[in-house]
Amino acid sequence: MNLNIIGILLQHIVPWGCVGLLAAGLWFIFGASIVNMFKEVQRLKQLEKTVSATKKKSQGIIFNHIYKVLTASLSKEISDLGTYSFMIGSISLFIFSFLTALKLFNFIISLGIAIIIAASPYVLLRLKLRSVQIEGSYDANVLVPSITNEYKQHYFNMINAIENCAVREDIGSYSRKNLFRLSLALKAYYSEEDLDKAIERFVFAYNTEWAMLLGLNIKMAIHKGIVVSSGLEDILKKLKDSSEQVEVSKRYNTDAFAIKFLLIPLYIGGILFSISTFDFTLRKYFEYQFLNPIGLRTGIISFMGIIVSFISLRMIRKPKYDI
């Protein structure tokens, strides 16, 4: 009788414990990104004065955010239809995953699994965005000096300076694309609101302190006609003082190497250990893993853990170059 009670307790405690550990792990990995997302809103608030009157704002915060992420991370222009298609696809994936998981798990666990699966396209998109932001952030050592020099050569005309920088071959392709978009927007803007939107889009493409400061200097030079050469020089000085990022990058790459080459061998070693210790055949092991409900639950949690580990590997592999 006592064994039955213990078994019932374990049956309820173990799944919740696994969900709790998974939630804690996800927060450990993505918590900083969530916090940075809120900080980003505060940092760019001064560039968003009258956006509430725009079409994109009226379509909602979620639409706005996804549109911005899609535009920054992909090389082609994204339409409203493309953004809606992404949102509808994620919702459809949630419904399908939830109904499928209900056949194996209770409501709460099925809901959690469906949320994780439905969020995976967005997570992959954020990973791609972070990857291009990291690579693009290292363009600062060429981008900022180029804008500074062109700005001085064109008699403190920021629009002409950005237009000329957009076609320079010594600037990375990601930064050239962002400068080209910014240049087109600066030539066509009619109000401060349009200027704010163009600069905000440019800053979001890097999401760094140096990009934010550069954006503020660009706005002051264009909107108020202030000579910002000293401000650009200050950014250059701060970038030169950030050389310690190279050492941080080396340390992160060492950690990433350990995760990449130890994770899968450890999982395979666990399979071999189970076969040798419990006298399982490989077929029996896979039957317990994928055909038994408890084994299937454990397998799903294990595979999710592997996916989370590889996501964390992508996120810590190389830091942004920032001031």
pTM: 0.63
Tokens of 116: 């994780």
- Last-in-domain residue among 186, 210, 240: 240
- Last-in-domain residue among 223, 240, 257: 240
* Segment among 38-47, 209-218, 249-258 with least mean pLDDT: 249-258
Domain identity same for 186 and 159: yes
Q: Coil, strand or helix: which one is 144?
A: helix
Q: Are 210 and 147 in contact (CB under 8 A)?
A: no
Region 91-107 average pLDDT:
86
Of the two residues 11 and 235, the one the predictor is more confident about is 235
Q: Coil, strand or helix: which one is 249?
A: helix
For the stretch 120-152, pLDDT in tens is: 889 888 888 888 888 888 899 899 999 999 999
Is 15 a member of any domain? no
**How large is the greatest C-alpha to C-alpha distance in the chain, in angstroms?**
89
Give 96's contacts (C-beta < 8 A, 6+ positions apart).
none
Tokens of 132: 């291009």
Is 199 a member of any domain? yes
Q: CA 144 to CA 211: how far, in whole Å?
A: 9
For the stretch 43-87, pLDDT in tens is: 666 555 444 444 444 467 888 888 888 888 886 777 788 888 899
Domain span at residue 224 reads 140-240
**Burial code of 229-246, b = ≥16 C-beta within 10 A, e = fewer?**
eebbeebbebbeebeebe
Q: CA 301 to CA 283: how far, in whole Å?
A: 21
Q: Are 83 and 63 in contact (CB under 8 A)?
A: yes
> What string of H, E and C letters represents the secondary structure of 251-269?
HHHHHHHHHHHHHHHHHHH
Q: CA 41 to CA 68: how far, in whole Å?
A: 13
Question: Number of folded domains in the chain?
Answer: 3
Is 2 a member of any domain? no
